[in-house]
Structure 1
Amino acid sequence: MRAFVFPGQGSQKVGMGVELAGASPVAREVFQEVDDALGQKLSAIMAEGPEDQLLLTENAQPAIMANAIAVLRVLQKEGGITLTEVADCVAGHSLGEYTALCAAGSFTLADTARLLKLRGQAMQAAVPVGVGAMCALLGADLEKAQALADAAAEGQVCQVANDNDPTQVVLSGHREAIERAVAMVKDHGIKRGVLLPVSAPFHCDLMRPAADAMERALDQTPPGALHLPIYANVTASAVADPAEVSRLLVEQVCGRVRWRESVLAMRAAGVEHFVELGGKVLGPMIGRIDADATVTSVATMADIEALAKEIG
């Protein structure tokens, strides 16, 4: 069995998609469609920067999605691959869940771009700049991370945001609480705590206004039928019902990204091969979760050609 997986925020960089657009008209069409849907030249920001514009959550989220869908469309149209014939399920990390739903036919490309733009804006607006923060705990499992979060909270929000793999957990919440957590890592047997360069505290209770905004947006643009089941971030289990998908996307804004558990659940269901499209971020995580899993990360034309040859 094979799963196609899609990266989340942090995988963006200036120059993303340039090689693909230069080599394939299919990729150029994707970037143009996203530009048209958003009424902005996002493709120019992706290609040329400036970096501070690309790092803005409202730009980074649709940009990462557009890049991954461009890779998928090139694989499909030029590599002759039909997703439903080569994949058994999809999954995505945080915003990557929207990319996965687009890949599975539940959202159009234009709707996915608009939803992610709104999601980025709503997440940024939910908490004033400087009030929230996130940190990565290196050498921490979920149990140690949870104990640290509880100890550092002191009445403020300090929650596990991402359970990425057995060695990396991310905390999110009030800046003071996150800074306390970083200062306390050694007391909890954790190797290192690193403040993340993010503009808002994602996946914690401070994001409630953004969850409300996404609930309204998804009422207006509900998910359609899925061609493949998706493993949802907040439940780490397969979902195929559009109404359930919509509910879980709202929950996901404040909820924990259970990536480690999602990968283990896919493995338990029989997935042996994970294909990451549009980045090389999830591949290493999956390798740390289960060293026996086969992982292919696909971001360039050479990667696409190699994968098409392998699975075609």
Structure 2
Amino acid sequence: LFAVKVRAEAMQKASDLVSSGMLSVIGRPQANYKHACVQAREHCLSLGIKEPVCAIANYLFPDGRVIAGHKEALDFLQNHSRELNFLRTRLLPVSGAFHTALMEPAIEVRRPEISVHSNVDGKRYMHDKHICNQLAKQLVSPVKWEQTLHEIYERAQGQDFPHTYEVGPGRQLGSTLQ
């Protein structure tokens, strides 16, 4: 938990640098999330925001994403949700655009002391250097929760499912298991 605390503090400091957040989106099958982010970034540029960020931060489930970035980008997505084929949007109660380029100031890699499962690619860490590389990527990459669940729950016939505990704010990730 110490590693989680240190990571959270670094991400909070990065969050304090710019007004940003995260938007949970459930879209129709024809929704193009990447193109929606491009449109939101173009909107931010028109407002004079330099190097705007709007990107998919979490791949939750088919047609379920979390998009993170500048507040103005998220406002654009909410205001244009119908044209973007979004069925439902909800701002998440977080302080920043986690898992995007806005978290780059938080990257400070240290040799980890615990075993960690990567949410960058859903795989277990292989060795120390791999852990450091993946932890750094995790701060600025989308969370591959769906892929991680496939990896975690893949098991031999007759083997029990592992116990699953959600640690952190909210219950969004755990609710996707139900």
TM-score tier (shorter): 0.7 to 0.9
Q: Which residue in the other structure is 1:285 paired with?
A: 176
| 1:223 maps onto 2:94 in alignment | no
Q: Which residue in the other structure is 2:71 paired with?
A: 175
User: What does the per-residue CA deviation read over 1:150-201, in whole Å, with 9 as the maximum and x for residues that have no partner?
Assistant: 2211141001111112242101111111111111221121101111111111
TM-score (norm 2): 0.77
For 1:50-69, list aligned pairs within 5 A: none
| 1:247 maps onto 2:133 in alignment | yes
Q: Which residue in the other structure is 1:259 paired with?
A: 145
Consecutive unaligned residues in structure 1, runs of 5 or more:
1-111, 288-312
User: What does the per-residue CA deviation read over 1:231-263, in whole Å, with 9 as the maximum and x for residues that have no partner?
Assistant: 421122233323211221111011110111222
Q: Which residue in the other structure is 2:49 paired with?
A: none
1:262 and 1:116 mapped to 2: Cα distance?
18
Q: How many residues align?
A: 165
Deviation of the 1:285 alpha carbon: 1.2
**Which one has the largest radius of gyration?**
1
Q: Give the superposed CA RMSD.
A: 2.7
Q: Which residue in the other structure is 1:303 paired with?
A: none
Q: Which residue in the other structure is 1:308 paired with?
A: none
1:246 and 1:135 mapped to 2: Cα distance?
28
1:201 and 1:193 mapped to 2: Cα distance?
16
For 1:1-312, list aligned pairs within 5 A: 112-113=1-2, 115-128=3-16, 131-139=19-27, 144-154=32-42, 155=45, 156-211=52-107, 213=108, 215=109, 218-219=110-111, 222-223=112-113, 226=115, 231-267=117-153, 270=156, 273-278=161-166, 281-287=172-178
Q: Confirm or deny: 8 A CA contact 2:31 2:85 kept in the other structure.
A: no
In the alignment, residue 284 of structure 1 is paired with which amino acid? S
TM-score (norm 1): 0.47
Consecutive unaligned residues in structure 2, runs of 5 or more:
46-51
In the alignment, residue 9 of structure 2 is paired with which amino acid? Q
